[in-house]
Amino acid sequence: MIFKNTVESFAVNYAHKSIQRSLYNEFNIKILDENQKYTKTPKEGKKYMLYAHVPFCHTFCPYCSFHKYHYEQELAKHYFENLREEMRQVKAAGFDFNSLYVGGGTTLINEPELEKTLRLAKELFNIEDISAESDPNHISPESLTRFDGLIDRLSVGVQSFDDSILKKVGRYEKFGSSAEVQKRLEKAVGMIPVISLDLIFNLPNQTKEQLINDIKISKAIAPEQITLYPLMKSELTRDNIARSLGVSNVDNEREFYEIIVDEFAKGGYRQSNAWAFSNQKNADMRDEYVGSNHEYVGIGSGAFSFLEGELVINAFNLLDYGRKVKAQDSTVIAKCAFTKKERLKYIFLTELFDGSVDIAKYNKNNGANIHRDLFVELNLLKLVNAIYEENGCIKPTFFGKYICVVLMRDFYAGMDRVRALFKDDAKIKRTKNLHVMSEDTGVSYEQAVTRPKAAI
């Protein structure tokens, strides 16, 4: 047992350092100047997903690092208009999509504008499924009824059902008590084909009892999917997390993950990827769009695209973004190219995270020989009993699934290095010329407005 624990500890530490090394070495962001235009263009025979970013929230959670602004109705109206215009420009460039993921922010924060945007997407493209995100304040039956036939999967960020935790992170005041949130969720289940309930585990000072209670309450509500994300700390969130939740010298991530898997093994749900669990009738659901969509086009302020081995970054600043869209100019302000080896590792990770890597398909789609190109990585994973091969597929063991959780957590936290570069207002535009400010400024929209009718 001691030997096994030592080996697993080594493997986790190695995985953590490996992805940190990759992110540090590969994230060489090239900022484009006015003479360097990047045009998103499709490649024949390739399948793409469309990602649309809605960067608005009424309030901010301490552990969230996503690009967002305080919500203001008129500002959001202009933004959605620009988002739809960029969507038309993507269509004109020759793209088509059968899947749309709307992320944020709170995507249902302005329901009429979101509805217009989703209907336009279905008119322009061969969209078969739409996923969106929300919070407990935007899931009333009245709100969800208007999205009947539009949204196929709605991910609701609950994070915890423990009132003491909700109070520490400011969600009790924002969304109400655990009992109130449970009632809203119970009414929402069944109104959208798939409701996914999102929780966070390994919060500082979180107990086993709190975690198990969160899982039991979630299963009692009976949504189609329950996802448990490990707490993701980065330079953008570390201080906020410490201020609201405190600091703990004990890391329970590995132990809590085992508890989570054991609790769901008791029946009713099956594991659909490394951190998501689906009820039996929705056994093939997937949680992270990057697992089945290696190439995607991002639209909206601060949206990422991944095209031809490059991370492509849209303008973060709302004013800059709006001006570019209205001028029919490229919304891209920066990009980052990755080596073939790093791309192969990324695709392998996302597919293993989803549960299985089809060797023949992987080799064909990526022009690769996985046993040769990832020789070291595969043998190390086999050595620590993280993967095995069966019927032409590479699959994770229980420990392999946990390794995937660690790697995916580190990958998402690593993306904050990109956001951090562009969240510095001084590097984007002097705030005195803006009529909006981001959460970093701590200034409300009303205080920040310098031109009441400034065009976005």
Residue-wise pLDDT for 378-423, tens only, equals 999 999 999 999 999 999 999 999 999 998 888 887 777 777 777 6
Mean pLDDT, to the nearest integer, of 312-324? Answer: 93
What are the residue ranges spanned by the domains of the chain? 49-291
Which is it for strands 269-271 and 276-279: parallel, antiparallel or unpaired? antiparallel
**What SS3 state is found at 199?**
strand
pLDDT band at residue 432, thresholds of 50, 70 and 90?
very low
pLDDT at 64 over 90: no
Of 201 and 451, which is predicted with more confidence? 201
Can you tell me the distance from the alpha carbon of 89 to that of 78, in angstroms, rounded to the nearest whole number? 17
pTM above threshold 0.95: no
Of 301 and 19, which is predicted with more confidence? 301
Percent of the chain with pLDDT over 70: 82
**What SS3 state is found at 283?**
coil
Quick: pLDDT tens for 202-221. 999 999 999 999 999 999 99
**What would the DSSP string read from start to end of 314-363?**
E--SHHHHHHHHHTT---EEEEEE--HHHHHHHHHHHHHHTT-EEHHHHH
**CATH fold of 49-291, please?**
TIM Barrel (3.20.20)
Q: Is 148 left (phi over 0), alpha (psi -120 to 50) or beta?
A: beta
Quick: pLDDT tens for 293-316. 789 999 999 999 999 889 999 999
Element (H, E) at 233: none
pLDDT at position 305 is: 95
Q: What is the mean pLDDT of the chain?
A: 85
135: number of Cβ within 10 Å: 25
pLDDT at 121 over 50: yes
